Chains A and B, each alone.
Chain A
Amino acid sequence: MRRILSLAFLVMMGMSANAQDPQVRRIQERFDSARPNEKSLAFYSLDWAMSLADAKERARKEDRPILLILNTNITAGTNFFSGHT
């Protein structure tokens, strides 16, 4: 399965597997393993707006409700979309 994914990835990258340096191929295979799959990224299937103003504009146009998350953290704010503090 890993081999199939790697070959698919090479095609996606538009690279010729035959001509590649083994070092390049090895990095591509490691990247393929390291990139999270769609299931683990499901959080990003929610419909996020980057600000309340943006959310309000879209909610009005699309006739949808808004869910606003509020949080304070004395050390630093959290970016709920990207995930980094």
Chain B
Amino acid sequence: MDHVRGSSLAWPESLETLRPFVMTWWSGRTIKDMPDDIRAVFNDANLRQPHINLALVVLDSKGKVLRSVVPSIRPPEFRFDPEAQGRDFKSQLDNLLAGLKLPKVEKLAKPKLTLPDICSEGQPNGVRIFLTFAANRLNHYRTPIVETVPMTEELRKALSYPKNAGTISASNVRAWLEQVYPAAVMDGKGGFRKIDGKLTFAPAGADDAYRYAVVEGEVEFVLDNEGRSTYKGSLSVALKYRREGNALYSIRGVCESVVPKGPEKIRMTVAIESRPE
């Protein structure tokens, strides 16, 4: 479904069409997994299918089902051209919404982004991880993946200021690295068979207010999918500390990989930023 998210839902004209709505989703392995409230909508929409590649259901402000459609998503028909797929999806969306009275939404010069975030207290209270990909044939990756990982005491302890140069294990930052995989490859149980590597961790200068350190090294990833996708990531993280104490204050990091997906090899670039700053 990532090509739907990237090439169709995120098509600029589709975004404008969808702006009046409160958007939400349910996705599961089978319709048997549906919770009661989703099942009620599914029944009211008369979808009656054992498998839903994609269905769109419009509900009014009181939660009553107004319309539904199972849009036809046909990447091969459009020669895997994301622009053609986007235009086709937009036309199906227009048909679904034709004649409905929707609230007017003021078109902003710069629409506000709401990215996944960490809601707890603390600096840092966690990290936000952006994954972007080079284009692939099925157009899976045209919209970045954004994940968040809360800070834990284990992470804080492992990343406290190093007085001397040393090493840490990739397992010390496993919580972050578990997000470093592309969508549409987890065809197994999910998760990783292996995340391994030795990372250098060394002081890296200071200024009047802060001290810095750097974590760098190569990480080996093996996914727990049927193909046992294996790839290496080059991780570099700059860490910032207040001059008093050894507690981590903020981070900025990158990880670069080339990930196998079927016959393709896809470049994956990861940016890691601490939150709230």
Instruction: Give chain A's interface residues, CB within 8 Å of chain B.
Output: 13-16, 18-21, 23-24, 26-28, 30-31, 34-36, 38, 40-56, 58-60, 62-85
Q: B235-273 vs A: 1/0 string, CB under 8 Å?
A: 011101000000000101110100000000000011111
Identify B15's interface contact among A45, A69, A70, CB under 8 A: A45
**Does A68 contact B130, Cβ atoms closer than 8 Å?**
no
Residues of B within 8 A of A80 (CB): 1, 5, 9, 25, 27
In the bound complex, CA of A40 to CA of B238 (Å): 25
Task: Decide if B208 is an interface residue (CB 8 Å cutoff).
Answer: yes
Residues of A within 8 A of B19 (CB): 45-47
CB distance from B96 to the nearest CB of A (A): 9
CB distance from A19 to the nearest CB of B (A): 3
In the bound complex, CA of A31 to CA of B59 (Å): 41
**Does B145 contact A24, Cβ atoms closer than 8 Å?**
no
Contacts A43-B143, A45-B19, A49-B24 supplied; 12 other A-B pairs, CB < 8 Å: A35-B130, A40-B143, A44-B115, A46-B15, A47-B22, A66-B22, A67-B18, A70-B26, A70-B47, A72-B33, A75-B188, A85-B186
Q: Which residue of A lies closest to B142 (CB)?
A: A40
Residues of B within 8 A of A34 (CB): 130, 132, 254, 256, 269-271
Report how many residues on chain B are interfacial, defined by Cβ distance under 8 Å.
Answer: 94
Identify B23's interface contact among A41, A60, A69, CB under 8 A: A69
Identify B207's interface contact among A19, A45, A49, CB under 8 A: A19
In the bound complex, CA of A64 to CA of B183 (Å): 31
**Does B59 contact A21, Cβ atoms closer than 8 Å?**
no
Task: Decide if B76 is an interface residue (CB 8 Å cutoff).
Answer: no
CB distance from B191 to the nearest CB of A (A): 10
Task: Decide if B31 is an interface residue (CB 8 Å cutoff).
Answer: yes
**Does B205 contact A19, Cβ atoms closer than 8 Å?**
yes
- Which of A34, A47, A68: most chain B Cβ within 10 A? A68
**Does A16 contact B58, Cβ atoms closer than 8 Å?**
no
Q: Which residue of A lies closest to B65 (CB)?
A: A68
Q: Which residue of A lies closest to B113 (CB)?
A: A44
Identify A27's interface contact among B116, B206, B214, CB under 8 A: B214
Task: Decide if B134 is an interface residue (CB 8 Å cutoff).
Answer: no
Residues of A within 8 A of B254 (CB): 27, 30-31, 34
